[in-house]
């Protein structure tokens, strides 16, 4: 099987009786995780599918929903509120964290990346603000005014110590 065909192959993950369908390339996009390693091209000969493309995991199928969302979006979402009507589909944060550990998704690395992205956004916003202030002051200098940059102390704390 060539790499392009295997990467676009549909994979069925049966997790605790709940079935999730996804593309192999969705899983291999995160090579440092259990599923990313398992479905890597170099490991194809080790796979033992059931019914052609189905793989069974004796794990929490409800919590695996959040694992699949990570593979699909690159973001970790945790359950935030309990809905009595759909309680059979709900998972606790502890259950999700247990599955993250099992599937080797490092939540600390993810959190650091999210904080880094957020800090990068704050820095970009600050640089745009600073550039606007400098341009405004340069225009004012033509009129003989001094340069005054006004930076809100709270904004500075938020940007650098978030």
Lookup: tokens for 100: 């993250």
Q: CA 3, CA 14: separation in Å to the nearest integer?
A: 24
Reduce the DSSP state of residue 8 to 3 states and report it.
coil
- Find how far residue 64's CA is from the centre of its chain: 15
Bridging pattern class, strands 18-23 and 10-15: antiparallel
pLDDT score for 147 = 44
Contact 90, 79 (CB under 8 A): yes
**Cα gap 38→23, rounded to integer Å:** 13
First to last CA, the chain: 48
- What the chain holds in terms of domains, given with CATH numbers, is 3-105 (3.30.710.10), 111-161 (no CATH)
pLDDT digits (tens, 9 = 90+) for 40-70: 999 988 888 888 899 999 999 999 999 999 9
Whole-number pLDDT of residue 104: 93
106-132: burial string, b at 16+ Cβ within 10 Å, e else: eeeeeeeeeeeeeeeeeeeebeeeeee
Least confident of 35-44, 102-111, 149-158: 149-158
Predicted local distance difference test score (pLDDT) of residue 162: 45
Note the pLDDT of residue 123.
76
Answer yes or no: is pLDDT of 10 > 70: yes
Tens of pLDDT, residue by residue over 117-127, are 677 777 778 78
């Amino acid at each position: 099987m060539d790499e392009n065909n295997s990467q676009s192959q549909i994979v069925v993950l049966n997790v605790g009786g709940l079935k999730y369908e996804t593309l192999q390339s969705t899983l291999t996009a995160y090579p440092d995780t259990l599923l990313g390693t398992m479905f890597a091209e170099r490991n194809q000969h080790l796979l033992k599918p059931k019914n052609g493309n189905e793989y069974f995991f004796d794990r929490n199928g409800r919590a695996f929903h959040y694992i699949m969302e990570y593979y699909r979006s690159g973001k970790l979402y945790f359950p935030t509120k309990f809905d009595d009507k759909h309680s059979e589909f709900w998972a606790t944060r502890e259950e999700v964290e247990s599955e993250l550990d099992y599937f080797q998704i490092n939540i600390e690395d993810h959190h650091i990346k999210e904080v880094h992205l957020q800090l990068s956004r704050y820095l970009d916003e600050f640089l745009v603000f600073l550039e606007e202030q400098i341009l405004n002051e340069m225009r004012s200098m033509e009129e003989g005014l001094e340069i005054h940059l006004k930076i809100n102390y709270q904004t500075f704390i938020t940007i650098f110590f978030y």
